[in-house]
């Protein structure tokens, strides 16, 4: 297990296209989080899962965004009809329940919408 | 509303000087506070958490509930400390962390 993996590392897409990102958490971690980070900002919470259940969604997560974690393992984040404002780094993190060790982050997927 | 404020975008010090990165939070209950660090071209990683009261890489942070602060300190900065530092809060029954905007620490030789 090499930690949290995210794929792809970079994605360039045209405005209006759909994109999907994948996150593979650490295998024994049952919580998985998605964050978005833009230049000069800290990570902003999007959503999180405990096992396969999506427990919380931020208001940042518009109806063009959808996330799944079908078997409580990997997760996908899809953005439909991308807009230039969606350009950002999308970070995935995982943790063991609500432990006090915080999260283990992936390297992120950098999305550029042109 | 829960909020984390890091008032300095950039902090520049010379090697061997003391460092204090400020973090203030807004939360009415008992928070959990963390410091994360991101070195150049590396992923975000946990530096320390208030609950453990530990010192990592010479850094310490004390939770001051009266001042709602969780400042990160190191008595003698090293060049390898240069990085982005993010303070984060988790409140109540929430699972998610709320991050500040970060402070870029630059340690000059």
Please state which of the ranges A81-90, B42-51, B66-75 shows the lowest mean pLDDT: B42-51
Residue A33 in contact with partner chain B when CB distance is under 8 A:
yes
* Cβ separation B45–A44 shorter than 8 A: no
Instruction: Tell me what pLDDT residue B52 has.
Output: 78
Of A35-44, A97-106, B32-41, B50-59, the one with minimum mean pLDDT is A97-106
- The share of chain A scoring above pLDDT 90, in percent, equals 75
* Share of residues in chain B with pLDDT > 70 (%): 97
CA-based nearest residue to A92, from A50, A55, A53, A46: A46
Q: If you average pLDDT over every residue of chain A, what do you get?
A: 92
Helix (H, G, I), strand (E, B) or coil at A14: coil
Q: Residue range B72-80: average pLDDT?
A: 97
- Chain B contact set for A33 (CB, 8 A): 95-97
**Which carries the bigger pLDDT value, residue B6 or residue B32?**
B6
Mutant choice from A103, A106, A110 vs B, greatest count of B C-beta within 10 A: A103
Name the pLDDT band for A10 (thresholds 50, 70, 90). very high
Answer for the pair B15, B96: CB distance below 8 angstroms, yes or no.
Answer: no
Given a cut of 80, whether residue B93 has pLDDT beyond it is: no
Radius of gyration of chain B (CA): 13
Note the pLDDT of residue B89.
92
**pLDDT score for A112:** 98
CA atoms within 13 A on the CB side of B44: 27
> How much is the mean pLDDT over chain B?
92
Residue among A42, A95, A101 minimizing CB distance to B99: A42
Q: Which residues of A touch B91 (CB under 8 A)?
A: none
Inter-residue contact A97 to A111 (CB < 8 Å): no
Q: Which residue of B has its CA nearest to A37?
A: B101
Facing residue for B95 by CB, picked from A42, A56, A101: A56
Neighboring chain A residues of B6 at a CB cutoff of 8 Å: 42
| pLDDT over threshold 80, residue A99 | no
Across B32-60, average pLDDT: 90
Structural tokens at position A54: 């999506």
Those residues with Cβ within 8 angstroms of residue B64's Cβ, 6 or more apart along the chain or in another chain: B70, B71
Q: For residue B59, what is the DSSP state?
A: B
């Amino acid at each position: 297990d090499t930690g949290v993996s995210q794929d792809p590392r970079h994605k360039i897409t045209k405005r209006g296209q759909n994109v999907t990102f994948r996150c593979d958490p650490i295998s024994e971690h049952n919580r998985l989080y998605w964050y978005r980070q833009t230049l000069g900002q800290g990570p902003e919470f999007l959503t999180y899962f405990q096992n396969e259940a999506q427990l919380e969604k931020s208001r940042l997560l518009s109806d063009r965004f959808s996330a799944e974690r079908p078997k409580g393992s990997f997760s996908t984040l899809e953005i439909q009809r991308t807009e230039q404002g969606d350009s950002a780094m999308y970070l995935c993190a995982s943790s063991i329940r609500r432990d006090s060790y915080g999260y283990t982050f992936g390297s992120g997927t950098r999305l550029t919408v042109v | 509303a829960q909020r984390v404020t890091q008032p300095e975008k950039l902090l520049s010090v010379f090697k061997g000087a003391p460092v204090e990165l400020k973090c203030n939070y807004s939360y009415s209950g008992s928070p959990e506070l963390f410091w994360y660090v991101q070195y150049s071209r590396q992923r975000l990683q946990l530096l320390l958490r208030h609950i453990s009261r530990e010192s990592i890489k010479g850094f310490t942070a004390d939770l001051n509930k009266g001042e709602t602060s969780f400042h990160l300190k190191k008595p003698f900065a090293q060049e390898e400390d240069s990085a982005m530092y993010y303070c984060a809060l988790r409140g109540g029954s929430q699972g998610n962390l709320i991050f500040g905007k970060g402070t870029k620490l630059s340690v000059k030789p």
